[in-house]
A and B are shown apart, each in its own frame.
Chain A
């Protein structure tokens, strides 16, 4: 178990540029989540995958944001035409959902800190 990894750890970009973040979940985990965390706040749910299917998206996820999880393994989060308000820590988490288990435990990665100049 190598944990959830995220790359890059830091990204500085200019307003209007596109950025892409990657999340590698714990290998056997079938659920993957993306959160955004701004300074002084708790993480806010963005989207969630069950295997390769994206099952829910928050209204926070504008049409400039897109997430994929091809083949149900790693996931990417792309932000197009970045704005200064996109500056935040983007967290990925994964979990193993088993039939009959009430709720699964989410394991978080270290996050990608985005700064939009």
Chain B
């Protein structure tokens, strides 16, 4: 069975500091991996996704994530946090050829001025 674990329900960084949000997954088959962002009272917006090919994936708003199969990880990073990055971030996995997406519990990012 697939599952997603996001380490840290809350992460706080200073504006301009590195953002690192951790995600580990379990899957019996090669997965497709996603990061979504959710602002208050809004739906989820796709930040980036990994399907095949290059393991370092760049997304919107300066975010990127690296798929590491040996570590079953897909951590999200951004070199310099901005106040507008404050939101909830969800890591998700979909089985190859499938449609059912499993989400992690989310990590709320706080950005301090």
State the A residues within 8 Å of B (CB).
Answer: 4, 31, 33, 40-45, 48, 55-56, 91, 93, 97, 102-111
Contacts and interface: CB of A to CB of B under 8 A. Distances in A.
Contact of A106 (B46, B96, B106): B46
Given A102-B32, A103-B51, A45 B43 contact: no
6 contacts: A43-B90, A43-B101, A45-B102, A102-B97, A106-B46, A108-B45
Nearest to A3: B43
B105 interface: yes
Contacts, number: 60
Contact of B105 (A41, A55, A105, A106): A41
B61 interface: no
Given A40-B106, A105-B46, A45 B101 contact: yes
Given A33-B99, A48-B99, A102-B97, 6 more contacts: A4-B43, A33-B101, A41-B106, A42-B103, A44-B103, A102-B96
Interface residues of B, number: 26
A111 B32 contact: no
Nearest to B46: A105
Contacts of B106: 40-42
